[in-house]
Amino acid sequence: MSQIVSALAILASLIFLTVQIRGNTRELRSQSYFNGLTHGQRPFELLIENPTLVRTVNLGYNSPEKLDSDERERFRLHTFMLFNAWEYFFYQHRDGSIPAQLFLGTDAHMRMLVTTKPGLVSFWEEYRHAYEEPFRSYVEGAFAKKTAR
């Protein structure tokens, strides 16, 4: 009889642990989602808050050679934040920590930028060293599709 009680206690403990782990997994996934949104939206918040930055970024996207040195640095740093967000979503998606839709939306937007904004080519040439594999090759593949068009 005591063995049955012990076995039931162990089974109850295992069920409790399973429920706890599932709850923690949901919480971690939710936190990853929130972190991604926070990280991904920050470059856009900066544009909303600063009309001068909007002009700088738009000029940098289309004609980076027209930026003065201070504007060029602001464009590069803003773009660095944008690429860092893309990288975050890339790795979180690979780990299964965020919903696929969140990555796919971000990825589609970034691929659109890479294929339509010539200023991103010079940014990538200068900053690719800041990214490791496999993200670096992933982004280079997006740039390669631009040149293949």
Q: Give all strands (DSSP E) within the chain, no chain letters.
A: none
What is the pLDDT of the chain when averaged over all its residues? Answer: 85
Domain boundaries, given as residue ranges, for the chain = 2-148
Residue among 85, 106, 103, 105 at smallest CA distance from 94: 103
Higher pLDDT, 147 or 107: 107
pLDDT tens sequence across 12-33: 566 656 656 665 566 656 666 5
- List % helix, strand, coil for the chain (3-state, nearest 5): 90, 0, 10
pLDDT tens sequence across 34-50: 666 677 789 989 999 99
Of 26-30, 37-41, 84-88, 142-146, least confident by mean pLDDT is 26-30
CA 139, CA 87: separation in Å to the nearest integer?
9
